[in-house]
Structure 1
Amino acid sequence: MQLVAISEERPGNRWLARFEALWPGYRAWMGDAAFDPPLATRRAALARHMPELVALHDHLCGLLGDDPAAHAFLTGWAPPPVITGCSVAISPEEEPVMIRNYDFTSDFYEGTLHHGRWSGGPSVIASSEALIGALDGMNDAGLAAALTYGGRPVHGEGFGNPWLVRYVLETCATVKEALAALTRIPSVMATNIVVLDRGGAHAVAMLAPDREPVVLDRPVVTNHQVAPEHPAGDAQSETVLRCDVLTRLREARGTTRADLLAAFLRPPVLRSDYAGVMGTFYTAVYRPAAGAVDYVWPDRPAWAQSFARFEEGAREIPG
Structure 2
Amino acid sequence: MIWRAIDEAEPGPKWAALFAEFWPSYQRWWLREGEDARPTYLEGLQALRSHMPEIVPLYERLCDLAGGGDQAARFLSFYRPPPYLSGCSQAVWPGKEPVLVRNYDYSPQAFDSLVLRTVWNGRTVLGTSDGLWGLVDGMNDAGLALSLTFGGRRVVGDGFGVPLILRYVLQTCETTEGAARALARIPTHMSYNVTVVDRRRRIRTVMMSPDRPARITHGAVATNHQDRVEWDSHARLTATVERERFLLQRLTLHVEPEEKFIQAFLRPPLYSTAFALGFGTLYTAAYRPRLGQMELRWPQAAWPLHIGGFPDQIRRTYTPEECTNLGR
Task: Name the TM tier (shorter chain).
Answer: over 0.9
What is the TM-score of this pair, normalised by structure 1? 0.96
Q: How has the CA–CA distance of structure 1 residues 74 and 26 changed in structure 2, closer, same or farther, with 3 Å as cutoff?
A: same
Residue 273 of structure 1: aligned partner: 274
Distance, in Å, in 1 between the alignment partners of 2:44 and 2:309 is 37
Asked whether the 8 Å contact 1:61–1:71 carries over to 2, the reply is yes
Given residue 199 of structure 2, which amino acid in structure 1 is its aligned partner?
R
Distance, in Å, in 1 between the alignment partners of 2:43 and 2:291 is 40
Q: How has the CA–CA distance of structure 1 residues 113 and 34 changed in structure 2, closer, same or farther, with 3 Å as cutoff?
A: farther
1:220-240 CA deviation, whole Å, 9 max, x = no partner? 111111121111100001111
3-state DSSP class of the match of 2:169? helix
Residue 223 of structure 2: aligned partner: 222
Residue 286 of structure 2: aligned partner: 285
Residue 314 of structure 1: aligned partner: 314
Per-residue deviation at 1:175? 0.5
Q: Does 1:91 align with 2:93?
A: yes
Given residue 177 of structure 2, which amino acid in structure 1 is its aligned partner?
K
Asked whether the 8 Å contact 1:204–1:217 carries over to 2, the reply is yes
Residue 30 of structure 1: aligned partner: 30
Q: How has the CA–CA distance of structure 1 residues 248 and 311 changed in structure 2, closer, same or farther, with 3 Å as cutoff?
A: farther
Distance, in Å, in 2 between the alignment partners of 1:318 and 1:211 is 40
Residue 8 of structure 1: aligned partner: 8
Distance, in Å, in 2 between the alignment partners of 1:276 and 1:181 is 33
3-state DSSP class of the match of 1:193? strand
Asked whether the 8 Å contact 2:116–2:129 carries over to 1, the reply is yes
What's the C-alpha RMSD, in Å, of the aligned pairs? 1.3
Q: Any gaps of 5 or more consecutive residues in structure 2?
A: 320-328
Q: Does 1:184 align with 2:194?
A: no
Q: Does 1:39 align with 2:41?
A: yes
Distance, in Å, in 2 between the alignment partners of 1:54 and 1:215 is 26
Distance, in Å, in 2 between the alignment partners of 1:14 and 1:140 is 22
Q: Does 1:19 align with 2:19?
A: yes
Q: Any gaps of 5 or more consecutive residues in structure 1?
A: none
Asked whether the 8 Å contact 1:246–1:260 carries over to 2, the reply is no
1:102-150 CA deviation, whole Å, 9 max, x = no partner? 11012101111110112x1320001100111001000001100101100
1:154-211 CA deviation, whole Å, 9 max, x = no partner? 1000000101110101000000110111111101000111111000001111011111
Moved over 6 A (4+): none
Residue 132 of structure 1: aligned partner: 133
Given residue 184 of structure 2, which amino acid in structure 1 is its aligned partner?
T
Q: When the two structures are aligned, how many residues end up with a matched partner?
A: 317
Distance, in Å, in 1 between the alignment partners of 2:261 and 2:216 is 24
Distance, in Å, in 2 between the alignment partners of 1:66 and 1:16 is 11
Q: Does 1:201 align with 2:202?
A: yes
Residue 234 of structure 1: aligned partner: 235
Distance, in Å, in 2 between the alignment partners of 1:93 and 1:62 is 44
Given residue 304 of structure 1, which amino acid in structure 2 is its aligned partner?
P
Per-residue deviation at 1:256? 1.9
Asked whether the 8 Å contact 1:103–1:280 carries over to 2, the reply is yes
Per-residue deviation at 1:71? 0.3
Residue 167 of structure 1: aligned partner: 168
